[in-house]
Amino acid sequence: MEKDADTRPPGAADDWTIPQGWDRYSAADHATWDRLFDRQAQMLQGRVVPQFLAGLDILRMDRPGIPDFAALNGRLMAATGWQVVAVPGLVPDRIFFDHLAHRRFPAGRFIRTPEQEDYLQEPDIFHDVFGHVPLLANPVFADYMQAYGRGGLRADGLGAIAKLARLYWYTVEFGLIATDEGLRLYGAGIVSSNAESRFALEDPSPHRLGFDLRRIMRTRYRIDDFQQSYFVIDSFEDLLAQTTQTDFAPLYADLAALPDYDTDSILPGDRVLMCGTQAYARHKEKE
């Protein structure tokens, strides 16, 4: 995830932030946001965790047009003390972690073009703001994100960013959560993707496995296609408790000597909620 992320573009501050420049979005940019928003708002009914919809509501994100960070931040700050700051795209790991550790979420300010509506590699404002920001209005999830940032700064000192990044990937980006009504989505990579919103929850192909911190940190992930395994947390409280009560330093030392797991493995200790057929990934391989 470090493509071109190491040279600070001219105009960016030391912490890589730039002005959002909200006045510079075109009518077409706003229309793209609205189209994506409406499509996902429909798709997510009955699929996303209720706290996400509550966040959209608290932050009044259902208003038309690309959100103006100044207005958004007034509401977000009041809810949980978080802020959104604009960045040019991917930023270096340490910069990224430092923002999170200070309750600032770095968001891309550009929006995808209509041709890119279904897939793009760099996080744009729709992924970052629609995908990530609603749950930052939830106090427990907000604390988890800050704890992750702090953990990232420590992991950097221990040479363990790659291991910790898997935790982010399988929770913040591609996490599922068990609720009384059944499995629900909460990962930003899923909720900002129309196709993966359905795939992650309903397709028979991927595995759905119970959250296991140590196991996740040994598990590779895919950046090029739908995940082959999703990990399911019991609650945000449990996620926060498990990660803040773990001493990561000895864990990293342990893991450094152990092999990684493949994206489609099922292991003896796994809590298997659904064993996937992996038909989707196998079909793709043959193409």
Can you give the binding site for Fe ion, defined by CB under 5 A? 188
| C-alpha distances out from residue 83 to 19, 23, 41, 104, 172, Å | 14, 20, 23, 5, 17
Residue 259 falls in which region: left (phi positive, over 0), alpha (psi -120 to 50) or beta = beta
Q: Which is nearer to ligand HBI, 78 or 223 (CB)?
A: 223
Q: Which is nearer to ligand HBI, 124 or 264 (CB)?
A: 124
Helices vs. strands in the chain: H and E counts, helices first: 14, 7
Residue 87 interacting entry, from ligand HBI, Fe ion, none, C-beta within 5 to 8 Å by type: ligand HBI
Q: Which residues make up the interface to ligand HBI (CB under 6 A)?
A: 1, 5, 87, 90-91, 93, 96, 106, 123, 161, 165, 168
Q: State the nearest-atom distance from the C-beta of 205 to ligand HBI, in Å.
A: 26
Q: State the nearest-atom distance from the C-beta of 90 to Fe ion, in Å.
A: 10
Which tokens hold the place of 243? 């990660």
Residue 93 interacting entry, from ligand HBI, Fe ion, none, C-beta within 5 to 8 Å by type: ligand HBI
Q: Which is nearer to Fe ion, 55 or 276 (CB)?
A: 55
Q: State the nearest-atom distance from the C-beta of 283 to ligand HBI, in Å.
A: 29
Q: Which is nearer to ligand HBI, 231 or 281 (CB)?
A: 231
Q: Which is nearer to Fe ion, 188 or 191 (CB)?
A: 188
Residue 285 has phi, psi (to 5 degrees) of -55, -35
Q: State the nearest-atom distance from the C-beta of 285 to ligand HBI, in Å.
A: 26
Here the contacts of 77-84 (C-beta below 8 Å, separation 24 or greater) are 79/136, 79/137, 79/139, 79/142, 80/136, 80/137, 80/138, 80/139, 80/142, 81/142, 82/136, 82/137, 82/142, 82/145, 84/128, 84/129, 84/133
Q: State the nearest-atom distance from the C-beta of 12 to ligand HBI, in Å.
A: 12
